[in-house]
């Protein structure tokens, strides 16, 4: 677990860059859809306009993907190191074998045995993290949509006034 935390801390700058790229992409999404609506029949013009929009905003089409892709080799190496080492898989975590599987643990001691409780705790922890991430992402997306609507309505108001 300490090794995983260390790797996550080392890769944190890449994760932050990916989040920043996604935020820029989300901020530009309404403008991009407007350009696609206007220039959908002319792919060359659409490509040029999208390129100008990205250049003006300092965005890249792969801004959110590239940092995530750079993390993949590290995670592949960690997976190989942890699953290929029989000495590591022979150890236990609070009584649950690291090389074990959920159904194997159930047959050995049941759900209320020490290994079963460890697995249940890990399932609950994963569920909580997934729920927190889902709720947070939905909230951020709703805020971005509200901001885009507010920007769009204020721009329409200026055009009407002009």
For residues 75 and 8, what is the distance between their CA atoms, to the nearest angstrom?
Answer: 10
pLDDT at 77: 83
Closest listed residue to residue 103, CA positions, set 119, 122, 125, 85: 119
Please name every residue paired with 96 in a beta bridge, in sequence order, or none if there are none: 93
DSSP 25-47: HHHHHHHHHHHHHHHTT-HHHHH
Tell me, what's the pLDDT at 129?
93
Contact criterion met (CB below 8 Å) for 14 and 71 = yes
Q: Residue 1's pLDDT is what?
A: 66
**Six-digit token string for 142:** 């709703």
Instruction: Report yes or no: 96 and 118 within 8 Å, Cβ to Cβ.
Output: yes
pLDDT of residue 135: 93
Is 93 in a helix, a strand, or coil?
strand
Given this model, what pLDDT does residue 162 score?
Answer: 47
Tens digit of each residue's pLDDT, the chain (162 residues)? 677 777 778 778 877 777 777 777 777 788 888 888 887 787 888 888 888 888 887 777 666 666 677 778 887 887 887 777 676 777 777 777 766 777 777 776 666 777 778 888 888 999 999 999 999 989 988 888 888 787 765 555 454 444
pTM of the model: 0.45
For residue 20, which of 70, 59, 69 has the smallest C-alpha distance?
59
- Looking at the chain, list the stretches that DSSP marks H as alpha helix, in order from N- to C-terminal side: 2-39, 43-57, 65-84, 86-89, 102-109, 114-161
Single out the residue of 11, 4, 6 nearest to residue 72, CA to CA.
11
pLDDT score recorded for residue 70? 75
* Domain residue spans of the chain: 1-84, 95-162
């Amino acid at each position: 677990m300490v090794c995983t935390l260390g790797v996550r801390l080392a890769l944190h700058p890449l994760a932050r860059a990916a989040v920043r790229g996604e935020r820029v992409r989300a901020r530009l999404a309404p403008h991009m859809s407007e350009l696609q609506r206007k220039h959908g029949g002319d792919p060359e013009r659409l490509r040029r306009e999208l390129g100008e929009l990205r250049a003006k905003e300092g965005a890249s089409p792969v801004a959110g993907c590239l940092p995530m892709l750079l993390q993949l080799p590290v995670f592949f190496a960690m997976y190989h190191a942890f699953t290929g080492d029989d000495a590591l898989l022979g150890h236990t975590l609070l009584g649950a074998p690291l090389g074990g599987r959920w159904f194997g643990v159930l047959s050995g001691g049941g759900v209320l045995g020490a290994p079963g409780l460890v697995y249940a705790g890990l399932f609950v922890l994963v569920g909580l993290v997934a729920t927190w991430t889902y709720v947070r992402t939905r909230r951020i997306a709703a805020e971005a949509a509200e901001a885009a609507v507010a920007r769009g309505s204020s721009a329409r108001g200026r055009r009407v006034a002009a």
